[in-house]
Amino acid sequence: MENPRSAPPAVIRAVLFDAYGTLLDVYSVGLLAEQLFPGQGQALAVLWRDKQIEYTRLVTTSNGGAHYQPFWELTRAGLRYACKRLGLMLTAEREQQLMNQYLHLSALPENKDVLQALKAQGIVTGVLSNGDPAMLAVAVKSAGLEGLLDHIISVDAIRKYKTHPDAYALGLQATGLEARQIAFVSCNSWDALAATWFGYQTLWVNRYQLPFEELGTQPMYTGSTLRDVLHFFPTSSLN
């Protein structure tokens, strides 16, 4: 795991994870999409995700948030747009199938071991997510992560999506800690960047070997797997 900074970090007392893309594989919907639309599954999964995130930024930054919609509805809107863009016939039945699949995204394989290792060391754990509470409740249960997360934090409480700083501030409110005492972990480079700007100690999990954002700031750490979060805690048996 790379650490581009030289200053010693503060002691980490909590780890907050992004949910969609970090604990949950947002592209796993491509398997069902491929069955429904042969030859277009991967393209649909990628465009759907891109549009979903674009919509979160649009409703957060426009007209003081007056156009806010829950993440579930933005996810549906992103699916509909992606199908139109790709020229795919999205029937009501297919839409329901794909939306249901989004509720049950595949969990990334190392999740449980990492969360169990953190809990064994007494580290507070949680997710800080764009997902609305109902989505997150189903996703956490479906992924088998119940009991391993102390906090399930949804931005829906403030009606502002990441990367708004008020979204990241929810982590401080939930844990009672300072930002520098919290590690924030995301596979999304934009999320890791904004969390770094906010003041969290950050780990960008670069699963797909991509370049980081070119805005002059690097995350505190860069790794290739969720297990790299354990480098914050050198006594972990999973290092």
Structure confidence at residue 146 (pLDDT): 86
- Do 74 and 90 sit in the same domain of this protein? yes
Q: Is 169 a member of any domain?
A: yes
Structure confidence at residue 3 (pLDDT): 63
- Do 131 and 184 sit in the same domain of this protein? yes
Q: Is 175 a member of any domain?
A: yes
- Do 131 and 196 sit in the same domain of this protein? yes
Range of the domain at 219: 14-24+106-232
Tokens, residue 99: 């939306």
The answer to whether 212 and 194 have CB atoms below 8 angstroms apart is no
**pLDDT tens-place string over residues 109-148:** 889 999 999 999 999 999 999 999 999 999 999 888 988 9
Helix (H) or strand (E) segment spanning residue 85? helix 71-86
- Do 227 and 116 sit in the same domain of this protein? yes
Q: How far is CA 227 from CA 27, 37, 165, 234, in A?
A: 20, 35, 27, 12
End residue of a domain, out of 103, 119, 148: 103
Asked if the model's pLDDT at residue 237 lies above 50, the reply is no
Total-model pTM: 0.91
Q: Is 3 a member of any domain?
A: no
Q: Is 7 a member of any domain?
A: no
Q: Which of 18, 25, 132, 156 is catalytic?
A: 18
The answer to whether 18 and 127 have CB atoms below 8 angstroms apart is yes
Whichever domain contains 117, its CATH number is 3.40.50.1000
Is 18 known to be catalytic? yes
End residue of a domain, out of 87, 103, 119: 103
- Do 182 and 218 sit in the same domain of this protein? yes
Give the dihedral of Cα atoms 67, 69, 73, 79; nearest 10 deg: 40
Q: Is 4 a member of any domain?
A: no
Structure confidence at residue 222 (pLDDT): 95
- Do 18 and 136 sit in the same domain of this protein? yes
**pLDDT tens-place string over residues 48-85:** 999 999 999 999 999 988 899 999 999 999 999 999 99
Sorted by sequence, the CB contacts under 8 Å of residue 148 that are 6+ apart come out as 112, 115, 116, 119, 125
pLDDT band, very low/low/confident/very high, at 2 (cuts 50, 70, 90): low
**pLDDT tens-place string over residues 147-184:** 899 999 999 999 999 999 999 999 999 999 999 999 99
Q: Is 239 a member of any domain?
A: no
Q: Is 40 a member of any domain?
A: yes
Q: What are phi and psi of 154, to 5 degrees?
A: -110, 135
CA dist., res. 97 & res. 111, Å (int): 26
Structure confidence at residue 233 (pLDDT): 81
**pLDDT tens-place string over residues 212-227:** 999 999 999 999 999 9
Sorted by sequence, the CB contacts under 8 Å of residue 132 that are 6+ apart come out as 70, 71, 72, 154, 156
- Do 137 and 148 sit in the same domain of this protein? yes
End residue of a domain, out of 103, 126, 149: 103
| Number of domain units in the chain | 2
- Do 48 and 120 sit in the same domain of this protein? no
Q: Is 172 a member of any domain?
A: yes
Q: How far is CA 42 from CA 39, 53, 97, 157, 213, in A?
A: 8, 17, 16, 32, 24
